[in-house]
Structure 1
Amino acid sequence: MYRVGELPLALQQAISKHVPPEAMITRIEFEGPEIAIYVRNPAVIAFRPEIARNLAKELKKRIVFRAEKDARKPQQEAIEIIKSIVPPEAEIKTIMFDEVLGEVIIKARKVGLVYGKGKTIYNKIFAETGWRPVILRAPDKESVTLNGIIDYMLRQSSYRSQILKTMGERIHRGVLFENRYVRIVALGGFMEVGRSAILVETSESRVLLDLGVNPGGTGYDMYPRLDIDEIRPEELDAVIITHAHLDHMGLVPFLFKYGFKGPVYVTKPTRDLMVLSLFDFLDVVTKEGRKPPFSQHDIRKMILHTIALDYEEVTDVTPDIKLTFYNAGHILGSAIAHLHIGEGLHNIVYTGDMKYANTRLLTKAHTKFPRVETLIIESTYGNKRQQKRSQAEAELIQWIVRTIEAKKGKVLIPVLAVGRAQEIILVIVDAIQKGYLRKVPIYIDGMIDEVTAIHLTYPEYLAPSLRKKILYGENPFTAEFLIKVEGAQMREEIINSSEPAVIIATSGMLNGGPSVEYFKNLAHDEKNTLIFVSYQVKGTLGRRVLEAGKGGKITLITPEGKLETININMDVVAIEGFSGHSDIDQLIAFLRDIEPKPKTVILNHGEPEAIRKFRRRIEAECRPGGKLEGAPFCGNIYTPQILDSIKLV
């Protein structure tokens, strides 16, 4: 805790310049990446939002004003004030209080009415109650995961407050070393797909970009290389997660098991999806009789250290690194990470997984940045052109119609619960509504329903046309023919039924989840069809089934340790046009459109042939007349392998 006179001179001067004395500042706290200014007269600040904006602009820091505890109304009185201010049409569902941080969490059906035009209602709530509002959307289908996260964080609010203060002291303490030094170390996801992890090291900081597991790996190859000297969990400053797929975030709780005490930066949807996926991953690993790399306790600890950011919100994550997330177009909340290092020393853009094309679910990846010297770009489909999305959708519906109408069989579509499942649901619902496909039961199995609830909580992250449908009563995810599978008994009934149906089940690579159970029981019948709509990583059951094809055989090891042979008599189809990754043409288009142009390009997240072909294509486009002619990165394209390091400055 600081009084104004105890702060660095520049901060003192800025506060004195912008904050009126009648606000009555009592103390200043460094709370994670934010500077929290506590006041006794919140009305002065609430009705003049330009104070916080101007202060943040001058200091280039995130500023938040909070009311001191004795300036807040009692909770019941605050509830009555809030309900009198907010119009009934907002349909407030829940009001909760964080006593430690002085926040009131308001969940409502129509959040725009809680904010009011120009945030007038929001500001009035803060002014009249002293509680700083946090507004959340309450969709028709509420997320159990998000409710659990909120409840847990409120119960642990005192502990989280101490964590934020400890983080804040570290982030805002100022730079100790003046060495001009930046390098990256490839820990995973280079010349391969899976276990993505990159160490960004400066003279001041050590930050991890992603920390995933390889879903098709075994033993040593399943996890990133955390065994090098530079990786001591207790000495890491921060972890930045681009999105909630296991190959990018599946090992984050492991760090907390071994002493990491720093922040984990994500977008809000990524936080919720990450928590859901990690608990599911732990459950699957345990059921398979494998030793999990972390426990539920480690996940819960991670939750308390997680800081959720919005797109295009500049945030200090270490004394010499600022982070900004931008839309990556891959899955809900997926982000391109922009790192601004030092006082203009170096800028890194890391795409994570990204899609440079609009889809039914999301808008395409962002390409405009303040500065870029180094671009780290994914290369999953660096050697392929994908189907056009319209062709992929038509092919999917054709296979479903053929299976259901001509063969009276069942269609099994293994999906990634996050993103791909929602895309496929949208395509099928649209086909039924337009009469291209007759109404048949569409069974949804696994954690898809909960993931969809998280999508509905954050419609602002979705494509504009879909967002409009959700907000104005045409929600495609609530169609009456979408049926959630409730447990093993219902699953068995679906398998044994003679009724044609579509089954959308996790996981997308047949490496666990209910899709494996459906496959084992449906594969023998030639009336049925298996449709892959996701990339099948080497080593997964899905890849083996795809390579074996119809007429092939697959040998599995049962949970009891016995060998089981599956005869594949069903049709096996792979439709790649649904990928959340960019194909080679989209990757080149991204390099063409990115502004400003980087000086160095580093290729990752691709199998060796994909990366080699992508590099050759870049070099070809750099020649006279090519799409990338004259780009400054044309002579600086790197394709590192695991444990390679590149000194950027």
Structure 2
Amino acid sequence: MKITFCGASKMVTGSCYYIETDRRKFLVDCGMFQGKMSELNFEPFPFEPADLDFVIITHSHIDHIGRLPLLFKKGFNGSIFVTSATADLMEIMLKDSAHIQELESKWQNKKRQRKGLVPVKPLYTVEDTLRIPEYIIKCSYGKWIEIDENICIMFKDAGHLLGSSIVIIKIREKNDEVLITFSGDLGNNNMPIIRDYEYVNYSDYLIIESTYGDRLHGNKTEEIKKLYDIIINTVKKGGNVIIPAFSVGRAQEILYLLNYYIDIEKRKELSNIEIYLDSPLAKEALEIYEKHKECYDEEAINLLGKDFDLLRFNNLYTISSAEESIALNDKNGVVIISSSGMCEAGRIKHHLKHNIWKDATSIVFVGYQAEGTLGRKILDNAKKVKIFGEEMVVKAKIYNLPGLSGHADIEGLINWVKNIKNGVSRRIFIVHGEEKASENFKKEIGKLMNTGVHIPELFEKVEL
């Protein structure tokens, strides 16, 4: 049995793991590369897509599903195993991804035409995404799904996003039964709406993320108070608050925090401020969140029992059309939540273009910013950034609230590993983290157990 690390190795993007047994070939995740690694999206897969039997998806973020349509274009026609909520989110996420790529290639080709260059094609189109739902097999948490007589899989809640999963794979090969666990992206505990991550009892091999493997998030309640204070103080000065947020997951959680908060006085102040959710995708995701209440935590269920509308409130305005989005350019003293979360594409780039050069603006980051992305450059205190080819001075106040991240910090990661009741017997692989974070996490795991720990290189193949 072999595993090839086809993405998310010493980086936080492009999750994709290729597993070969004596009878089957399959993937866990098939994500898109973002930021400085985005050129890898156009490279051939390091396996033959037509030879794959099936794909297992941990959750619906684009860095975990973004190259699925390309996989089908290149010949794959097997089943895709996902949770029910992930299946619904995947459908809208992939269409949105394709739409953005079509627009980006159209914009690029206008420039290329003027230079006499050959036009480029998008990685895939909206039409390429339409056939995917017929291959999806929806699965429940906590039940073994038999793929064949030698392979079973189980999904457990990862607490990262609606429908997100830890995947346990049981493989029988040559009289040996092996358990392989993929952590997926582990959630930051006590986050809004969804349940905390579940634990596993035992695994022979563990492939675990390390996004925040070298950092603590800080006090979540204090971060929420800080978010409220930033909004209230910025708006008082006539400035706009721009919040880049992933359309699926972070956007809904931020709405929950803005809608339900224990400080009544601050909530009253906030209720007079116009809040705009400018993302058609986030608007669609709202409906899916409301549909999948089986993923909600106890607090959210209790609030629903009191007829409390978790994600909608009187001063929230959801924006759909491009015209409505453009009209926000003339607004002052408002909050704009828009995607993409790393500021690489979509409407957030337009809002940054119209606000980043203003002293009164506040830009609030509430999620991870990968190396090479526009979001990371802004967060790293760049004095100037390029947006749509135009160099812009950064005068806005920049805030980072990692406590509102959907990823577990080092304490949360260690807590999850410590609670593997019977340990990991053979080997641990650390993925989905920049090198410094992965190395620190490796050191911390070494203090807990004697199991061998390895940080794989991109495209490294390992015999299990």
- Normalised TM-score (structure 1): 0.66
Task: Find the counterpart in structure 2 of residue 307 from structure 1.
Answer: 137
Aligned length: 443
Whether the 8 Å contact between 1:460 and 1:467 is mirrored in structure 2 is: no
Aligned to 1:459: 293
Deviation, structure 1 residue 353: 0.5
1:207 is displaced (CA, Å) by 1.2
**Structure 2 SS opposite 1:483:** strand
Aligned partner of 2:369 in structure 1 is 536
Name which of 568, 571, 575 aligns with 2:397: 571
Distance 1:486 1:250, change over 3 A: closer
Residue of structure 2 in register with 1:417 after alignment: 247
Q: 1:520 to 1:581 in 2, by over 3 A?
A: same
Q: 1:298 to 1:568 in 2, by over 3 A?
A: same
* Aligned-residue offset at 1:259: 1.7
User: SS where residue 586 of structure 1 aligns?
Assistant: helix
- Please list the CA deviations of residues 159-207 of structure 1 after superposition, one character each: whole Å capped at 9, or x if unmatched: xxxxxxxxxxxxxxxxxxxxxxx22111111111111100111101111
Residue in 1 that maps onto 2:232: 401
Give the conservation status (yes or no) of the 8 Å contact 2:259–2:312: no
Is the aligned partner of 1:292 residue 2:122?
A: yes
Once residues 394 and 94 of structure 2 are traced to their aligned partners in structure 1, the CA distance between those partners, rounded to angstroms, is: 31
CA 1:218–1:383 in structure 2 vs 1: closer, same or farther (change >3 Å)?
closer
SS at match of 1:588: helix
Q: Does 1:326 align with 2:152?
A: no
Q: Secondary structure at the match of 2:367?
A: coil
1:375 and 2:211 are equivalent in the alignment: no
1:641 aligns with 2:457: yes
Per-residue deviation, residues 377-411 of structure 1 (Å, max 9, x unmatched): 10011111112221221221121121112x12111
Instruction: Indicate the SS of the match to 2:5.
Output: strand
Return the TM-score normalized by structure 2: 0.91
- Note the alpha carbon deviations across 1:18-60, whole angstroms, 9 max, x for none: xxxxxxxxxxxxxxxxxxxxxxxxxxxxxxxxxxxxxxxxxxx
- Displacement of 1:281: 0.7
Unpaired runs of 5+ in structure 2? 106-119
1:523 is the counterpart of 2:347: no
Specify the SS of the correspondent of 1:341: strand
Q: Which residue identity lines up with residue 369 of structure 2 in the other structure?
A: Q
Contact 2:203-2:424 at 8 Å conserved across structures: yes
Superposed, 1:378-527 pairs within 5 Å as 378-405=209-236, 407-431=237-261, 434-437=264-267, 438=269, 439=271, 440-446=273-279, 447-470=281-304, 472-498=306-332, 500-527=333-360
Residue 618 (structure 1) aligns with = 445
Instruction: Report matched runs for 1:590-605 at 5 Å.
Output: 590-599=416-425, 600-605=427-432
Alignment correspondent of 2:13: 194
1:185 aligns with 2:17: no
**CA distance in 2 between partners of 1:445 and 1:220 (Å):** 28
Note closer, same or farther for the CA distance 1:587–1:545 as it changes in structure 2 (3 Å cut): same
2:84 matched to which residue of 1?
Answer: 268
SS across alignment from 2:424: coil
Q: Which residue, 231, 235, 253 being the options, matches 2:51?
A: 235
Bigger-Rg structure (1/2): 1
Of 191, 196, 203, 1:364 maps to: 196
Aligned mates of 2:259, 2:15 — CA distance in 1: 34
Q: 1:348 aligns with which of 180, 189, 210?
A: 180
Shift, 1:546, TM fit: 1.7
Instruction: Check 1:295–1:491 CA distance in 2 against 1; reply closer, same or farther (3 A cut).
Output: closer
Identity of aligned residues (%): 29
Structure 1 stretches of 4+ moved >6 Å: none
Structure 2 counterparts to residues 51-90 of structure 1, below 5 A: none
Instruction: Please tell me the residue identity of whatever aligns with 2:429.
Output: I
* TM-fit CA distance, 1:286: 1.1
SS at 1:288 equivalent: helix
Task: Give the deviation of 1:472 after TM superposition.
Answer: 4.4
What SS is found at the alignment partner of 1:192? coil
Secondary structure of 1:322 counterpart:
strand
User: Using the alignment, how far apart are the partners of 1:460 and 1:254 within structure 2?
Assistant: 31
Q: Is the 8 A contact 1:205 1:318 kept in 2?
A: no
**CA spacing shift, 1:299–1:202, aligned 2, 3 Å:** same
Residue pair 2:428, 2:451 contacting (<8 A) in 1 also: no
- Relative distance call for 1:224 and 1:638 in structure 2 (3 A) is farther
Alignment of 1:162-181 (within 5 A): none
Decide whether aligned partners of structure 1 residues 514 and 471 sit closer, same or farther in structure 2, where only a CA change above 3 A counts. Answer: farther
Taking CA–CA contacts closer than 8 Å with sequence separation of 6 or more, which of the two structures ends up with the larger relative contact order?
A: 2
Distance (whole Å) between structure 1 residues aligned to residue 18 and residue 126 of structure 2: 26
Contact 2:242–2:337 (CA<8 Å) still a contact in 1?
yes
Match of 2:410 among 547, 567, 584: 584
> Which has the larger displacement, 472-481 or 246-255?
472-481
